[in-house]
Structure 1
Amino acid sequence: MYDGFAQTPCSSASCEGARRDKVIRDELHRSRRYSRVTAGDQHPMQSNRIRTKSTYACKCEVAKRFRGRMLPWVVLLVVATAGAHAQTGTSDYPNRPIRLLVPFSAGGTADIVARSIAQAFGGILGQQIVVDNRPGSGGILGTELATLAPKDGYTAVIGNISTIAVSPALYPKLQYDPLRDFSPVALIASAPFVMVTSVSLGPKTVKEFIALARTRPGKLNYASTGIGSPGHLAAAVLASSANIEMQHVPYKALGTALTDLFSGEVHLLFLGIAPSQAQLKAGKVRAIAISSRSRSRLMPDVPTVAEAGIPKFDVTGWYGLFVPRGTPSGVITRLNATMAKAASIPELEKRFTGLGAELFAHSVSQFAGFVDAEIRKWGKVVRESGIQPE
């Protein structure tokens, strides 16, 4: 039966013998009236040919055609094997400790967030999560270090609004690009800020503060923990949105900023919920608004800035988990699912509430969209406000 191969023999030396064999075979058939060789019977002179319906194809040609036919299947087999190998590479993940880079000093909020998550992740994954503090340049050095790590899922980094969304816009020569160099894994938590004023200043609402600032252009000032910090950007957005003029006074330490706020040296500060509680209870500062788009369940009686007539005002600190770009998607999915499980642990939720933060369980795509929006948002704020690094 015709097998689809070409029927014209090649000109190789081995095939020349095949042609002679065919002549002899035809002569024998004519003289002895041989019947056609049936399938499975091997004629002595068929050693170098394959029987077809009307003629033959030589072994050389068969080999060529066989290779041509089989090549696509070989390619598919290689791809399937590679895919199976990649799947196998993540099926037992993690099988050794994971390093969690924290680009801030030990003892700070980012460090507490990282160590809390590390403990929860370790229990869920069954592997130790080693927290590695690498502070410097407002989180830039440790974040840059993460870009050099192997893309195998055994190095992750804590990112926040400053290192991922603000610094790339503030420092054009930054050695990393958050979208190019990192893959978002999971949003860990968000923490709004409280807009607090000096008790001696007078205003008790955002509207009253704006009205006062308009009567004293350039006379009111606000404190922050540094140029480009969330508190700095929040006040800058407020001034731009409300069309008021205020002076920025950056501080190296929050304690010093609070002391000057108590005394009336500075008039406004966007402060984290957790550190604001003691000052509010002592009556040293007045909370007039929450910086997030909606009210915080941690301070439900405090209105948002947006409620005071500044639409779409939303400044929220956040912490997320990132891995070097190129890390297998299976690893990212596993880590995201682990964060979702961790967010449901009551003890962890209680710990984050004490930090003034709320845990989240976003999908990978939701977090990626959030990061992209934050980068665009704060890049625009930095450009339009003309903020320059120190």
Structure 2
Amino acid sequence: MVTLEIANEIRKKQENPLIGEWRMHAALLQEGIKASPRTCGRIMAKNRALYGWGKPKGPAKPKKEMPFKATRRHEYWSIDIRYIEHHQLPKIKGPVYAISILENFSRMLLASAISERQDTSAYLRVLAQALRNYGAPEAIVTDSGGVFYSKRAMAIYEALDIRKERIDPRQSWQNYIEAHFGIMRLLADCYLNKASTLYDMNKAHRKFIRDYNCQIHFAHRERNDNHHSPQDVLRGVLARTLPAPTLARIFFATEFTRHLDRSGYIRFRRWRFYAEAGLAKRDVQVSIYTSTLKIEYQETELAFYTMEWEDNKRIKEVKNPRLIETGYRSPQLTLWTLGPDEWLLFLKLPDYAARKKPQRKPDVIQLPLPDLDENQRQQVSS
């Protein structure tokens, strides 16, 4: 209960205009007076209203200028990786990762993927998707993360003539993607953290991307052209577009199309690789970069394999198979479910048997002559 003595003590201590409700609570507690910070705050507000005291203002801070504020579309792309630690995926120990690419002018999310890893290959898959759909930006903005400065990534930036920019150490506010991750926490974390399978998490993530790009954005609230969502502001404008073969040559050494058999396997270089039984009898894309083989269907990743080459043509060994959980299901029900370690995901096929050279038969066959006795020979000669 607040007495007049307590209220008067608060009034006297408000002589210092910079003291707040918490410091007022601490000062009263030092004198043996118990009043919660909220109570102190209410009494202090009444005193300011009664005596005409203005609410104290802190020292003016100069507004920080955003170093990578875009003045045109695709001038800067901001990229970063966010940890999702409180998930419910039983097969994944540790966090999963959201790798995202944001266009600075429109704030549109160009590409984003949930990944079990945060390595260079995972990052480059998301970058390749953004480049394929929107072209190449003038510059890319990241922090000093190793995946953004790997030899592979730097070689790709150089090949595509993309300028690489880095924010200052411990200045995450310079990267627009950080503000986007705050929106992601509000809109998506509730559903991402409830997902029990990677497929459900990807489904929730795709919905978040659609909702975020279509909803009005705080940064565009004062626009006068009735374009207030990231998607409306970008208006489908593309950056410097690149032919698909050029991107394929830069990101992957080679790309192929293969046909899945009825069990969901492809045949490649005298090996069989499992992709997805739910896509049996369909064509899939096979991409190779150095020792990594990737199988995907319409931009949906299905499987990854690590290969060891014998002579840059023949595959000597395959290891580290990794299947990606998708929504594709086979119409044929199985008698029991096997884990990836309980059946063969890849299999070396026997070498082709050497062809036997066919023996050419003569066009004319000499029939054997009959044996003649002496009388018959004399008759023939005469």
Shorter-chain-normalised TM-score: which range?
Answer: under 0.3
For normalisation by structure 1, the TM-score amounts to 0.22
Structure with larger RCO (C-alpha < 8 A, sep 6+) = 1
Higher helix share: 1
